[in-house]
Amino acid sequence: MLPPNNRDDACRPPRSPAPRSPLAMTAHPIAVEEYRPEQEPYYHPVGDEVALFEAAAAGHIPLLLKGPTGCGKTRFVEHMAWRLHRPLVTVSCHDDLTASDLVGRYLVKGGEVVWVDGPLTRAVKVGAICYLDEIVEARKDTTVVIHPLADDRRYLTVEKTGQVHPAHPDFCLVISYNPGYQSALKELKVSTRQRFASLAFDYPAPAVEAAVVAHETGLDPARCDQLVRLAQMTRNLKEQGLEEGASTRLLVHCGRLMVAGIDPVRACETAIALTLTDDPEMVAAVAEMVAAVF
């Protein structure tokens, strides 16, 4: 099996339609997670987050984005990479992800042992935005490597090679986590948190969310409003035991199914109800909401 930093699911490619430059595609043999948006990734601001990101990047302050899944954090970072003309390196953290996956490792290539930089090392060297998505999922040794990068020292120590890399002036560290469903065991350590400025994300306000769904799907505005109304109803089900209500991402999926000609009720069942829960009672509760809205 390939090591995690060679796996597509460890390092996500951009999900926005912005094409990648050929240079970014070929510069490294495993450059799947590194890209430079050429077209503006669509992002509808919800507050002053664009100005705050720009100020933090200029002041070398790392950022912590917190909020529920599917509410626009990743798209925001993609947009900021485009605005700031910096490459973006995204790593989706998971519980097998180690410091070596971020920093690099020795690999055997053509009978020779060669050092291959990991995504964090490449970002530090080229001055990219490094986005560590769901950082609390990663193994604890990853915090050891990000600490000196996330304070005034701004350097990366690569233990295995004995090298210390001062971060490029444009290097910018962004991490995200979802406080809603992370257990106390997976809380960020205070010593880690206190290196970051924090931006709280939530689902956009109804009019903005409807505009986002319309832009992303081409669905007609009245249907977008209905989808947002449905999403808000499911978000209220959290008190009744649903882990999380429908995210903006799920509304986008649902809208795309509708635009492709799927009946709205069936689209909601497929993209929302059955995705949110396996509990038959909860599925029925969402189905009632769908029937009330459509």
Handedness of CA 102, 107, 110, 113 (dihedral sign): positive
Binding mask 224-253 for ligand ADP (x = CB under 6 A): ------------------------xx--x-
Smallest gap from Cβ 71 to ligand ADP, in A, equals 4
Assigned token pair, 214:
């319309």
Q: Please report whether residue 147 would count as binding ligand ADP according to CB under 6 A.
A: no
Q: Beginning with the edge strand found earlier in the chain, give each strand of the sheet holding 172-177 in spatial order.
A: 34-35, 88-92, 129-133, 172-177, 63-66, 197-200
**Pick 158 or 227: Cβ nearer ligand ADP:** 227
Q: 64 or 167: whose CB is closer to ligand ADP?
A: 64
Using alpha carbons only, how large is the chain's radius of gyration in Å?
Answer: 20
Residue 171 and residue 128 in contact, taking contact as beta carbons nearer than 8 Å: yes
Q: How far is the CB of 137 from ligand ADP (least distance, A)?
A: 13
Of 3-11, 67-75, 114-122, 190-198, the window that binds ligand ADP (rule: CB under 6 A) is 67-75
Applying CB under 6 A, the span of 22-30, 38-46, 149-157, 279-287 interacting with ligand ADP comes to 38-46
Which of 73/165 has CB closer to ligand ADP? 73
Q: Is the dihedral of CA 272, 277, 280, 286 positive or negative?
A: negative
Q: What is the DSSP string of 47-114?
A: SSHHHHHHHHHHTT--EEEE--TTSSHHHHHHHHHHHTT--EEEEE--TT--HHHHHEEEEEETTEEE
Could you tell me which stretch among 22-30, 36-44, 55-63, 143-151 binds ligand ADP (CB under 6 A)?
A: 36-44
Beta carbons of 247 and 230 less than 8 angstroms apart:
no
- Residue 106 bridge partners (DSSP): 115
Q: At what angle do helices 248-259 and 206-217 cross, to 10 degrees?
A: 40
Q: What is the DSSP letter of 28?
A: S
* Token output for 95: 């519980």
We find the least distance from the C-beta atom of residue 90 to ligand ADP, in angstroms, to be 10
Write out the binding residues for ligand ADP, residues 69-88 only, by CB under 6 A. 69-75
Residue 255 makes contact with ligand ADP by CB under 6 A? no
- Of 93 and 167, the one with the shorter C-beta distance to ligand ADP is 93
- If one asks whether residue 44 binds ligand ADP (CB under 6 A), the answer comes out as yes
Asked whether position 154 contacts ligand ADP by CB under 6 A, the answer is no
State which residue, 38 or 288, has the beta carbon closest to ligand ADP: 38
> Considering the complex, what minimum distance in angstroms separates the CB of residue 64 from ligand ADP?
13
Map residue 163 onto helix, strand or coil: strand
**Smallest gap, in angstroms, from Cβ of residue 211 to ligand ADP?**
8
Total number of residues binding ligand ADP (CB under 6 A)? 18
- Number of Cβ within a 10 Å radius of residue 13: 12
Nearer to ligand ADP by Cβ, of 151 and 225: the residue is: 225
Q: Tell me which residue has its CB nearest to ligand ADP.
A: 72
Residue numbers 191-210 binding ligand ADP by CB under 6 A: 204
For residue 197, the cross-strand partners are 63
Contact flag: residue 21 with ligand ADP (CB under 6 A): no
- Positions in the binding site for ligand ADP (CB under 6 A): 15, 42-44, 46, 69-75, 204, 212, 216, 248-249, 252
